[in-house]
A and B are shown apart, each in its own frame.
Chain A
Amino acid sequence: MKINVLVNGQKKIYDVLPDEYLLDTLRADHLYSIKRGCDNSSCGVCTVLFDGKPVQSCSMLSMKADGHSITTIEGHQDEAKRLSEHFGHQGADQCGYCNSSLALTVHAMKTEIEKPTEEDIKEYLVGNLCRCTGYEAQHRAIKLCLEEEDEK
Chain B
Amino acid sequence: MKVVNHALPSIDGKGLMMGKPAYSDDLADPTSLIVKVLRSPHPYAKITKIDTSKASALEGVEIVLTYKDFDRRPFTRAGQGYPEPSPHDKFVLDDHVRYIGDEAAAVAAIDLKTAEKALKLIDIEYEVLEPVLDFETAFENKILVHEEPEIHDMFPIGFDPKKNLAAAYHMHVGDVDKSLEESEVIVEESFYTQAQAHVMLEPHTVNARIDYQGRLVIYSSTQTPIHVRRIISQGLDYPLSKIRVIKPRVGGGFGGKQAIHGEMLVSAVTLRTGKPSKMIYTRKEVFESSYSRHPMRFDLRLGAMKDGTLKAIDCWVVSDTGAYGEHALTVFMVAAAKVFPLYNKVDSVRFHGNVVYTNHTPAGAYRGYGAIQGNFALESAIDMLCHKLDVDPVEFRQKNMIKETETSPIFKIMGEGTEGIEMFMESCKLDYCVKRGSELVKWKEKYPRKQISNSKVKAVGMAIAMQGSGIPYIDMAAATIKLNDDGFYNLMIGATDIGQGSDTILAQIAAEALGTTLDKVIVYSSDTDLTPYDTGAYASSTTYVSGNAVLKAGKEMRQMIVDEAAKVFKVEPDEVEYDGIILKSGEQEITLKDLSNRLFYNEDQKQLQITSSYYGTKSPPPFMAGFVEIDLDIETGEVDIIDYVSIVDCGTTINPMLAKGQVEGGIVQGIGMAMYEEVLYSKSGQLITNDMMNYRIPTRREIHNLTTEFADSYEKSGPYGAKSVGEIGIDTPPAALANAIYNAVGVRITTLPITPEKILMAIKELEKGGK
Q: Is A96 a contact of B12 with CB atoms below 8 Å?
A: yes
Question: Contacts A87-B17, A96-B16, A97-B202 given: A131-B501 contact, CB under 8 Å?
Answer: no
Q: Say whether A33 faces chain B, with CB atoms less than 8 Å apart.
A: yes
Question: Contacts A97-B202, A129-B201 given: A135-B703 contact, CB under 8 Å?
Answer: yes
Alpha-carbon distance A136/B702, docked complex (angstroms): 11
Residues of A within 8 A of B666 (CB): 134
Q: Is A87 a contact of B13 with CB atoms below 8 Å?
A: yes
Stretch at the interface among A36-44, A61-69, A109-117: A36-44
Q: Chain A interface mostly helix, strand, loop or mixed?
A: loop
Residues of A within 8 A of B705 (CB): 136
B661 in complex: contacting residue of A81, A128, A133, CB < 8 Å: A133
Interface positions, chain B 195-229, Cβ under 8 Å from A, are 198-203
- Chain B residues bordering chain A, tally (CB within 8 A): 61
Q: Is B661 a contact of A134 with CB atoms below 8 Å?
A: yes
Residues of A within 8 A of B17 (CB): 73, 80-81, 83-84, 87, 93, 96, 99-100, 103
Q: Say whether A60 faces chain B, with CB atoms less than 8 Å apart.
A: no
Q: Say whether B334 faces chain A, with CB atoms less than 8 Å apart.
A: no
Alpha-carbon distance A100/B661, docked complex (angstroms): 18
Among residues of B, the one whose C-beta sits closest to the C-beta of A97 is B251
Interface string of B661-682 (1 = CB under 8 A from A): 1001111110000000000000
Interface string of A79-101 (1 = CB under 8 A from B): 01101110111111111111110
Q: Say whether A13 faces chain B, with CB atoms less than 8 Å apart.
A: no
Q: Is A84 a contact of B18 with CB atoms below 8 Å?
A: yes
Among residues of B, the one whose C-beta sits closest to the C-beta of A87 is B13
Among residues of B, the one whose C-beta sits closest to the C-beta of A140 is B657
Q: Say whether B361 faces chain A, with CB atoms less than 8 Å apart.
A: no
- Closest CB in chain B relative to A128 CB, distance in Å: 8
Q: Say whether B100 faces chain A, with CB atoms less than 8 Å apart.
A: no
Q: Chain B interface mostly helix, strand, loop or mixed?
A: loop
Alpha-carbon distance A90/B402, docked complex (angstroms): 33
Alpha-carbon distance A137/B13, docked complex (angstroms): 13
Q: Say whether B97 faces chain A, with CB atoms less than 8 Å apart.
A: no
A126 in complex: contacting residue of B18, B22, B498, B701, CB < 8 Å: B701
Q: Is A95 a contact of B251 with CB atoms below 8 Å?
A: yes
Among residues of A, the one whose C-beta sits closest to the C-beta of B284 is A39
Interface positions, chain B 219-257, Cβ under 8 Å from A, are 249-252, 254
Q: Say whether A144 faces chain B, with CB atoms less than 8 Å apart.
A: no
Alpha-carbon distance A86/B249, docked complex (angstroms): 21
Q: Is B199 a contact of A131 with CB atoms below 8 Å?
A: yes
Most chain A CB within 10 A, of B280, B661, B664, B701, is at: B661
Residues of A within 8 A of B283 (CB): 37-40
Question: Contacts A33-B19, A36-B203, A130-B201 given: A91-B499 contact, CB under 8 Å?
Answer: no
Residues of B within 8 A of A125 (CB): 700
Residues of A within 8 A of B501 (CB): 93-94
Interface string of A14-52 (1 = CB under 8 A from B): 000100000000011011111111111011010000000
Residues of B within 8 A of A33 (CB): 18-19
Q: Say whether A132 faces chain B, with CB atoms less than 8 Å apart.
A: yes
Question: Contacts A38-B691, A84-B13 given: A131-B703 contact, CB under 8 Å?
Answer: no
Q: Is A45 a contact of B201 with CB atoms below 8 Å?
A: yes
Residues of B within 8 A of A81 (CB): 14, 17-18
Question: Contacts A91-B7, A126-B700 given: A99-B655 contact, CB under 8 Å?
Answer: no
A42 in complex: contacting residue of B282, B284, B691, CB < 8 Å: B691
Among residues of B, the one whose C-beta sits closest to the C-beta of A104 is B19
Residues of A within 8 A of B250 (CB): 95
Q: Is A137 a contact of B657 with CB atoms below 8 Å?
A: yes
- Closest CB in chain B relative to A75 CB, distance in Å: 10
Residues of B within 8 A of A40 (CB): 283, 691-693
A129 in complex: contacting residue of B251, B254, B658, B697, CB < 8 Å: B697
Alpha-carbon distance A83/B19, docked complex (angstroms): 13
Q: Say whether B20 faces chain A, with CB atoms less than 8 Å apart.
A: yes
- Closest CB in chain A relative to B543 CB, distance in Å: 15
B699 in complex: contacting residue of A28, A90, A126, A132, CB < 8 Å: A126
Q: Say whether B98 faces chain A, with CB atoms less than 8 Å apart.
A: no
Residues of B within 8 A of A91 (CB): 7, 10, 655-658, 660-661
Among residues of A, the one whose C-beta sits closest to the C-beta of B667 is A134
Residues of B within 8 A of A72 (CB): 19
Alpha-carbon distance A100/B20, docked complex (angstroms): 9
A93 in complex: contacting residue of B13, B282, B660, CB < 8 Å: B13
Residues of B within 8 A of A83 (CB): 17
Interface positions, chain B 627-668, Cβ under 8 Å from A, are 655-658, 660-661, 664-668
Alpha-carbon distance A135/B701, docked complex (angstroms): 10
Alpha-carbon distance A132/B669, docked complex (angstroms): 8
Alpha-carbon distance A107/B643, docked complex (angstroms): 29
Q: Is A132 a contact of B661 with CB atoms below 8 Å?
A: yes
Q: Say whether A12 faces chain B, with CB atoms less than 8 Å apart.
A: no
Question: Contacts A93-B9, A94-B665, A131-B254 given: A32-B660 contact, CB under 8 Å?
Answer: no
Among residues of A, the one whose C-beta sits closest to the C-beta of B694 is A42
- Closest CB in chain B relative to A21 CB, distance in Å: 11
Alpha-carbon distance A74/B20, docked complex (angstroms): 9
- Closest CB in chain A relative to B692 CB, distance in Å: 4
- Closest CB in chain A relative to B668 CB, distance in Å: 4
Q: Is B699 a contact of A96 with CB atoms below 8 Å?
A: no
Residues of A within 8 A of B19 (CB): 31-34, 72-74, 80, 100
Alpha-carbon distance A91/B655, docked complex (angstroms): 9
Residues of A within 8 A of B30 (CB): 28
Among residues of A, the one whose C-beta sits closest to the C-beta of B10 is A93
Residues of B within 8 A of A37 (CB): 201-203, 283
Alpha-carbon distance A43/B22, docked complex (angstroms): 20
Among residues of B, the one whose C-beta sits closest to the C-beta of A75 is B19
Residues of A within 8 A of B373 (CB): none
B700 in complex: contacting residue of A39, A95, A122, CB < 8 Å: A122
Most chain B CB within 10 A, of A39, A74, A81, A133, is at: A39
Q: Say whether B25 faces chain A, with CB atoms less than 8 Å apart.
A: yes
Interface positions, chain B 695-723, Cβ under 8 Å from A, are 697-701, 703, 705-706
Among residues of A, the one whose C-beta sits closest to the C-beta of B662 is A94
Q: Say whether A10 faces chain B, with CB atoms less than 8 Å apart.
A: no
Question: Contacts A39-B691, A73-B18, A134-B665 given: A94-B500 contact, CB under 8 Å?
Answer: yes
Alpha-carbon distance A39/B202, docked complex (angstroms): 11
Residues of A within 8 A of B21 (CB): 30, 32
Alpha-carbon distance A28/B34, docked complex (angstroms): 14
Q: Is A85 a contact of B9 with CB atoms below 8 Å?
A: yes
Q: Is B16 a contact of A100 with CB atoms below 8 Å?
A: yes
Q: Is A99 a contact of B13 with CB atoms below 8 Å?
A: yes
Q: Say whether B23 faces chain A, with CB atoms less than 8 Å apart.
A: yes
Question: Contacts A43-B692, A88-B14 given: A137-B201 contact, CB under 8 Å?
Answer: no
Among residues of B, the one whose C-beta sits closest to the C-beta of A136 is B706
Q: Is A131 a contact of B699 with CB atoms below 8 Å?
A: no
Question: Contacts A32-B21, A93-B10 given: A134-B202 contact, CB under 8 Å?
Answer: no
Question: Contacts A94-B252, A98-B201, A136-B706 given: A36-B660 contact, CB under 8 Å?
Answer: no
- Closest CB in chain B relative to A34 CB, distance in Å: 8
7 contacts between A and B (CB under 8 A): A39-B691, A88-B13, A93-B9, A133-B668, A135-B700, A135-B703, A136-B664
The 10 closest A-B pairs by CB, nearest first: A33-B19, A88-B9, A95-B499, A91-B657, A96-B16, A97-B251, A93-B13, A134-B664, A42-B692, A134-B668
In the complex, besides A36-B280, A39-B282, 16 extra interface pairs with C-beta distance below 8 angstroms are A32-B19, A32-B21, A45-B201, A89-B7, A91-B655, A92-B661, A96-B22, A97-B23, A97-B200, A97-B251, A97-B252, A100-B18, A132-B500, A135-B698, A136-B706, A137-B657
